[in-house]
Amino acid sequence: MPIRIKNKGEVPDMAISYFMRMVCVALVAAGLIQAALEFVLWAAAKPIFRLLAPLSARSRERSLYLIQLTPFLLAVGLSSLVCVPGYVRNETNLASEAVGWPCLLLAGGVLAWFASTALRGLRVLVRTAIFSNACKTGGAGTLRAATETPIVSLPDAGHRVALVGLFHPRIFISTDLLTDGGLSPLALDLVFEHERSHAIHGDNWKLLSLYCLPRLNLSLTGGGTWLQQWQSAAEWAADDDAVRGDFGRALLLAQVLVTFARRVAGARFPAMVSTPFACGSKGFELRVNRLLELGPGSTPVTGRALAVEDIGRLSAALTLTAMILGGAAAIAALTPWLHDLSEHLLHLWITGWPV
């Protein structure tokens, strides 16, 4: 036990149990590791985007999703499987022990960070369930094949189309888009194919997990956050699935996007587990131009293009593997000092603790 010297006016240190010290070590280690990894990804954003450039939209979407999961999963894994066992293995004092206020504040901050993110995800989930139930009651079903995603029309949807829900997602569409003056049958087919692509690839589940994921939301050099980059990639991938490489369908989808953008301009929608058809202002022009580039003179999907795609996937996989192995090697190198680091974190700024 360290010697605790109490002077007049000094804030006393708090003595906590052995179990609570383990909790503090786990929380502080997880928070610091995740923050450090997020800063690393933020600094490496440009090379990462260059690495993902040769990939297809769907492969890029999946890569961006995994990139966002990596800091949290590594932080929790290293904290629970390396840092805490290292502390338990070397700690000899099983009684209560003084812990510095900086460590307690850090642990409380990380706990509040993780808890607030989980509550935000729960709030989004509840809002989605309430909206879905209300739409089932007030909406009207449309004709569909038995194997297709259900489609529900809503009288007051504000010219919107969106895939909403998780276990049994439904495509909700504004009724005025189905009547005269709305969308043509071919345009409706494109919009529905776009939303069905989101359903097939589980994009709503991915979105929910990203809502529940604690993050720093750092603005990237190219603009936006990692979440916004993933949303853009998911929209591009769904566009590709709806267009199927056909220039006529691509041109019509671009026109429909412009129409939707004009109708919902300035509208704000509550956060829900949904993938709306019309994207926001960020990346809209790039998305439309990308569809227009699928013209008659565009490069077809050839064996060379597929080879470039395969090389891009291999490069991305090797880079991710190298990052994980590098992190594991760094942790292994620090293992002999993990207990000392944990002790210094726990007793930071305790009066009388040796520097």
| Interval 181-223: pLDDT, tens | 677 888 888 888 888 999 889 898 998 888 888 888 888 876 7
Least confident of 119-128, 182-191, 289-298, 306-315: 306-315
Residue 131: which H helix or E strand, with range?
A: helix 101-138
- The single-letter DSSP state of residue 145 is -
User: Is the pLDDT confidence value at 302 over 50?
Assistant: no
Would you kindly state where each structural domain of the chain is located, as residue ranges?
14-346
Question: 284 or 266, which is more confident?
Answer: 284
Quote the Cα angle for 53-253-185, to 5°.
150
Tokens of 328: 């594991």
Tell me if 165 sits within 8 A of 128, measured CB to CB. yes
User: Is the pLDDT confidence value at 149 over 70?
Assistant: yes
Report the candidate in 340, 345, 335, 336 with the shortest Cα–Cα distance to residue 91: 340
Over residues 71-119, the pLDDT tens digits come to 888 888 888 887 777 777 777 777 777 777 777 888 888 899 999 998 9
pLDDT (0 to 100) of residue 206: 92
Distance CA 83, CA 86 (A): 5
pLDDT (0 to 100) of residue 299: 43
User: Is the pLDDT confidence value at 266 over 70?
Assistant: no
Confidence of residue 319 (pLDDT cuts 50, 70, 90): low
pLDDT (0 to 100) of residue 11: 46
